[in-house]
Amino acid sequence: MHEGAALSVSGGTVVAVGEPAPGFAPVRLAGKALLPGLVSAHGHSFQRAIRGRTQVRHAGRSDFWSWREAMYRAAVRLDPEDVYAVARMAFHEAACAGITAVGEFHYLSRDPAGRRYEDPELLAREVIRAAREVGLRIALLRTGYARGGAGIAAAPEQLRFVDGSPEEVLESALRLARITERDPAVTVGLAPHSVRACPAEWIGTLAAEARLRGWPLHVHVAEQPGEVDQCRAEHGLTPVELLKGLFVLGPGTTVVHAIHLAPSDVDALGRSGTTVCACPTTERDLGDGVVPADGLLRAGAGIALGIDSFVQVDLLEEARALEGNLRLVRRERGLLAAAGGAGRIDALAARLYGFASAGGMRSLALPGGTLAPGEPADFVALDLRDPSIAGASAQDLLPAVLFSAARTAVKDVVVAGEPVLVEGAPPAGRPAASEVVSDFERTMKKLWGG
- The residues that are catalytic are 257, 308
Strands 418-421, 410-415: pairing kind: antiparallel
Q: Quick check: 126 and 88 in contact, CB under 8 A?
A: no
Looking at residue 2, the DSSP 8-state letter turns out to be -
Q: What is the DSSP string of 90-129?
A: HHHHHHHTTEEEEEEEE---S-TTSPPPSSTTHHHHHHHH
Secondary structure of residue 372 in the 3-state scheme = coil
The DSSP bridge partners found for residue 105 are 141
Q: Which amino acid is at 192?
A: P
Q: Quick check: 347 and 337 in contact, CB under 8 A?
A: yes
Give the helix/strand (H/E) hosting 16: strand 13-18
3-state helix, strand, coil in the chain (%, to 5): 40, 20, 40
Q: Quick check: 136 and 91 in contact, CB under 8 A?
A: yes
Cα separation, 277 vs 419, in Å, equals 27
Buried b vs exposed e over 76-98: b needs ≥16 C-beta within 10 Å?
eebebebbbbbbbbbbbbbbbbb
Nearest to 192 by CA among 105, 294, 73: 105
Nearest to 43 by CA among 302, 421, 360, 350: 360
Nearest to 86 by CA among 423, 443, 449: 443
Contacts of 140 (CB under 8 A, 6+ apart): 104, 106, 124, 127, 128, 176, 180, 186, 187, 188, 189
